[in-house]
Structure 1
Amino acid sequence: MIVARNLKWKHVFFYTWKPMLYFLFLSLAVYILHVEFEMRSLSIPFNAVATLSTALAIYLGFKNNSAYDRWWEARKIWGLLVNYSRAWAREILSLSFPAENSEAPEVKAWQKRVIYRHIAFVHALRVFLRKKHAYNKNKYEIFEDSNQYDDIQDFVSKEEFNSFLDKNNPPNYLLKLQSDELQYAYKRGWISDYRFVRLDETLTQFNNHQGMSERIKNTPMPRPYSFFSRVFVYLHGTLVPFAFIEDLGWINIPLSIIINFIFLALDTIGERTEDPFENRMDDTPLTAISLTIETNLKEMMGDKNFPKKATEVEGVVF
């Protein structure tokens, strides 16, 4: 997620230089043909382009609103995951008790195992949502590429980790283990009927968070919106130089560039916002959120071995 107030122009030009180069050469060509070769028939009515500009602005506004809704929903899902993760740790610590005093160390070890496995679930879900993304190593596209399942090894047993790697849906496998742990604690008498139901309800919320995230990941924004928005931007940009050349002469060149840049930027914003789990600089900061959850839960357990806080990289937090 970009957190810097001012964008770096090198990033802006990286995504726009190719179409802007086309618009620049087109404007130059129109100017040369109209002025130097006196091809007056190249001019088209300004009102025609103005009408198209209005329609395109409405279209891009709708697309960007829809794309932002997807991004914001992803952020809300992971915000809820933070809240329920804290609740899960608190409930595990406050609702489980040893049936006998001699079982106190065993209950404490069980609590730690369950809470730390949840930290593994959060990191696993982050990697699962980003795993299929092919990292772009271009120097102008910033990626945090430490999304590996190895990140969870410190929070589960070796046997669980080996089984975890063989699963089609690793995060869901960890939730199944958590359910087994609740059944184990209930049979040992460490949690009552009511407490078992309460903890299972919280566990179900994690299924919901994963499912909602997978829905956004696996259901792209309708592709015609993305395809035709770019087509319309190029069509509009191609017509713009012809609308001003008669009245403005050489000023048509910089004016066309400015107008086309605005519409191209609007289209690019929507395109890069619609998929929030691709591990790009514009996306939901899953790594930072995961580290926040890990830190909070470790603190509740009295573990001071906190992970290194996510830092900005050129104004971007992953």
Structure 2
Amino acid sequence: MIVSRGIHVGRLLRYNAPTLALLVAYDVAITVAYLVLDWHWVAIPLLPLPLLGSAIALIVTIRNNAAYARWWEARTLWGAILNNSRSFARGVLALVDDPSVAHDLVRAQIAYALALRCHLLRLSPDEALARYLPADMAVLCHGRANAPAAIQMAISRRLADLRRAGGLDSVAVANLDRTLAAVIDAQGGLERIKNTPLPRQYSGLPLIFSRAYCFVLPLGMVDSLGVATPFGSALIGFMFLVLNEIGSDLEDPFSNDVHDIPMAAITRTIEIDLLQAIGAEDVPSPITAQNGILS
């Protein structure tokens, strides 16, 4: 996630450089055809450019709002996982008398958060499972298609075993299970966002309309702007390209690029908080932004 407050013009230009270069070349070609070759037929001065631009801007805005809603919902769901992980650790440490069992459950919750990040990015969770998951739970979760869900199942089984052994009463188990249910609900929401892209009409039509507008833009401007047409047309076209790119960047919050939800930073926060809660000494450092980007 980009966290720097300034606008990184170089990054914007780099992402849109090929399309912008093609746009400038086309604008120059139209200007040369009109002014040098006297091809006055290329000019269409009566084009309703303001009306067309307003309509396309509205379409792009609707798509961008839908894309941002997905991105923000994903961030909200990760916040719920963070909060409920803390609540689960607090409840386990307060209610489970055996410290070793309590610590195993807390470390399993850390493994869950790390495995969920890998699950959304389509990465292997083996490192997270080996680092934090107790051996008996790791056997149940290794090789599963949905490792985070398998970890939650293993945690629930451990809680059930504690209740049968008299280590937890039914009220305590019910409270902890309610917290785990909230975690699973949040995971379901994240998987829905990951597995259900925006309808292609939302992502395809704004791109087509924006490029079509950039195509007719110099035709309607060359008669009035003359030699300045490439500057005016390229500037307006670049604005539409950037607006369209914003929506494309936000459509998938789990695409492993700079516009993602900062899942590494969130899971590291869970890792730090829960390790400190059990008094562990090997606590990693928080993840900080590098070059204005928080991963």
TM range (shorter): over 0.9
Aligned-CA RMSD value: 1.4
Residue in structure 2 matched with residue 265 of structure 1 by the alignment: 242
TM-score (ref. length: structure 2) = 0.96
Q: One-letter code of the match for 1:166? A: G
Residue in structure 1 matched with residue 203 of structure 2 by the alignment: 226
Ranges in structure 1 where 5+ consecutive residues have no aligned partner: 98-106, 133-146
Please list the CA deviations of residues 80-120 of structure 1 after superposition, one character each: whole Å capped at 9, or x if unmatched: 111111100111111223xxxxxxxxx11110010100000
Matched, 1:20 2:52: no
Residue in structure 2 matched with residue 296 of structure 1 by the alignment: 273
Question: 1:46–1:303: structure 2 CA closer, same or farther, 3 Å change rule?
Answer: farther
Question: 1:60–1:200: structure 2 CA closer, same or farther, 3 Å change rule?
Answer: same
Q: One-letter code of the match for 2:104? A: R
**Counterpart-to-counterpart distance in 2, 1:176 and 1:262:** 49
**Counterpart-to-counterpart distance in 1, 2:125 and 2:156:** 25
**Counterpart-to-counterpart distance in 2, 1:214 and 1:26:** 43
**Counterpart-to-counterpart distance in 2, 1:90 and 1:162:** 26
Matched, 1:255 2:251: no
Residue in structure 2 matched with residue 57 of structure 1 by the alignment: 57
Residue in structure 2 matched with residue 112 of structure 1 by the alignment: 103
C-alpha contact 2:64 2:247 (8 A) present in aligned 1: yes
Please, which moves more after superposition, 3-12 or 267-276?
Answer: 3-12
Matched, 1:286 2:277: no
> Of residues 169, 186, 206 in structure 1, which corresponds to 2:183?
206
Q: CA deviation at 1:156?
A: 1.3
C-alpha contact 2:45 2:223 (8 A) present in aligned 1: no
Matched, 1:164 2:141: yes
Residue in structure 2 matched with residue 126 of structure 1 by the alignment: 117
**Counterpart-to-counterpart distance in 2, 1:306 and 1:298:** 6
Q: CA deviation at 1:247?
A: 1.1
TM-score (ref. length: structure 1) = 0.89
Please list the CA deviations of residues 56-78 of structure 1 after superposition, one character each: whole Å capped at 9, or x if unmatched: 01001101111100000000000
C-alpha contact 2:108 2:134 (8 A) present in aligned 1: no
Ranges in structure 2 where 5+ consecutive residues have no aligned partner: none
Q: CA deviation at 1:159?
A: 5.1
**Counterpart-to-counterpart distance in 2, 1:33 and 1:215:** 51
C-alpha contact 1:88 1:202 (8 A) present in aligned 2: yes
C-alpha contact 2:104 2:134 (8 A) present in aligned 1: no
Question: 1:148–1:8: structure 2 CA closer, same or farther, 3 Å change rule?
Answer: farther
C-alpha contact 1:46 1:244 (8 A) present in aligned 2: no
Q: CA deviation at 1:148?
A: 5.0
Please list the CA deviations of residues 8-57 of structure 1 after superposition, one character each: whole Å capped at 9, or x if unmatched: 33321221011111111111111111011111111113552221101001
> Of residues 119, 129, 147 in structure 2, which corresponds to 1:152?
129
Identity of aligned residues (%): 29
Residue in structure 2 matched with residue 82 of structure 1 by the alignment: 82
Please, which moves more after superposition, 239-248 or 44-53?
Answer: 44-53
C-alpha contact 1:127 1:149 (8 A) present in aligned 2: no
Residue in structure 1 matched with residue 4 of structure 2 by the alignment: 4
**Counterpart-to-counterpart distance in 1, 2:137 and 2:155:** 12
3-state SS in 1 of match to 2:48: helix
**Counterpart-to-counterpart distance in 2, 1:111 and 1:203:** 15
**What is the aligned length?**
295
**Counterpart-to-counterpart distance in 2, 1:84 and 1:279:** 25
3-state SS in 2 of match to 1:247: helix
C-alpha contact 2:140 2:154 (8 A) present in aligned 1: no
**Counterpart-to-counterpart distance in 1, 2:235 and 2:217:** 11
3-state SS in 1 of match to 2:86: helix
**Counterpart-to-counterpart distance in 1, 2:109 and 2:178:** 15
